[in-house]
Structures are given as C-alpha cells and as structure tokens.
Amino acid sequence: MVQEISDDLIEIHDPEINAAEIMAHIREQIAQRRKEQGRDQRVFPSFGGTAYPGEPTDIPYDPNLYHHLRLANETFANVETAAQLPATRATQLPIFGALWVRVRAYLHRIILFYVNRALTHQVNVNRHLISVSNQLTAANQNQHRQIRALESELASLRAQKER
C-alpha cells in the first residue's frame, strides 16, 4: 500500500534541527529507493480480530444485524466469574459459622479455577467467531457497494444503447 507523506508528520522541538529539511531528504531517499528497487507492494496482515465494521452510511442495511453484531462485540469478553458469597443463617452461627465461611470460600475458589479455565477457552472461541462475523459483514458492505456501482454503470450503458 502506498502512503503519502505529509509535511508535518514529524515533530522535533529544536531550533538547531530543520525538520522540513529532514523530511525533504527522506522523501528523496524513498523516491530513489523506489526507482532502484521498485515499489514494495507488501500488504501486512492486520493483527488480532477484525473490528466491528460500523453501520454504513452510504448503502441500505439491516438494523437488526448491526444491533446484534455491535452488542456481541461489546459483551463477548464480559464474563462474571467472581465468587458470590452472601451471608446466610449458617455463616452467622457461633464458631461453626466462621469455619463454614472458610470452607465455603475454599470450595468456591476451586470451582472458579475450573470455570475460569473453561471460560477463557470459550471467550477465545467467541472472539474468533465474532471476528469472522465482523469480517463477513465488512465484505458484505464492500460487495453491496460494488453491486451498486455496477448497477449504475449498467444503467448508463443501457441508456447509451437506447439512444
């Protein structure tokens, strides 16, 4: 992908260093290397999951699809795994109550250890599934735009032919 380099891309707060001169030199160097080595057309892989593509503003869309997709993106990692240990009649009993509090907390910790392991796996699977949904939705948007462009091209060709 070719990126344009704007003038104010770097900041050097030093009156003795001329940032504009450095940028000009860099542009020359890049142009020279492109001449000698050709353009590097490499497209880097994007890291991690594909983000929520957002509702399109230029094409019609199904609000339900975007509503559910947005909520899925926002909530897939919000899994409550903390222990809930409210006081009960048993925990307020003298001597036995304190012992029961400790035993109960210990049992909860053991259970949560395994629950959290399973949840971590599930959150990872969810992330991949949501990433795929995001990517398909984005692809669908692009295809919709392409179809619209082709339709308008077809319409203008038909109009030309009829004339």
Partner 1 sequence: MNWRAIHQLLPFFSRGDAIGNLALATREVLRAWGFQSEIFAELWEPVLAKECRPLEVYRSRPDNLLILHYSVGGQSNRFVLNVPDRVVVWYHNITPPRFFYAVNGDLARRLQDARRDLALLANKATAMADSAFNQDELTQIGFRVLGVVPPILSFDHLRASDTMREARAASNWLCVGRIAPNKCIHDIIKAFYFYHARIQPDSRLWLVGSDEGMAEYARALTRLVARLSLDDAVVFAGRVDRVGDYFRNADIYISMSEHEGFCIPLVEAMHCDIPILAYASTGVPDTLGGVGVLIREKNYSMIAELAHQIISDTSLRARLIARQRERLAAFAPEIVRAHLRACLERAYQKDTVNRFGIRSNGEINGSRNF
Contact between 58 and partner 1 per CB under 8 A? no
Q: Which two tokens stand for residue 114?
A: 């395994």
Contact between 33 and partner 1 per CB under 8 A? yes
CA distances from 116 to 110, 119, 123, 124 (A): 10, 5, 10, 12
Contact between 85 and partner 1 per CB under 8 A? no
Contact between 41 and partner 1 per CB under 8 A? no
Phi–psi pair at 154, nearest 5 degrees: -60, -45
Closer residue to partner 1 in complex, CB, 88/120: 120
Q: Sign of the C-alpha dihedral, residues 16, 21, 27, 32?
A: negative
Contact between 12 and partner 1 per CB under 8 A? yes
Please, which residues have CB within 8 angstroms of residue 64's CB and are 6 or more apart in sequence? none
The 120-149 contact track toward partner 1, x by CB under 8 A, reads: x--xx--x----------------------
Contact yes or no for 133/72 (Cβ under 8 A)? yes
Binding segment toward partner 1, per CB under 8 A, in 15-23, 55-63, 84-92, 143-151: 15-23
In Å, how far from its chain's centre is CA 94?
53
Using CB under 8 A as the criterion, which residues of the chain lie in contact with partner 1 when the complex forms?
3, 5-6, 8-14, 16-17, 22, 25-26, 29-30, 33, 37, 40, 42, 44-45, 47-49, 76-79, 116, 120, 123-124, 127
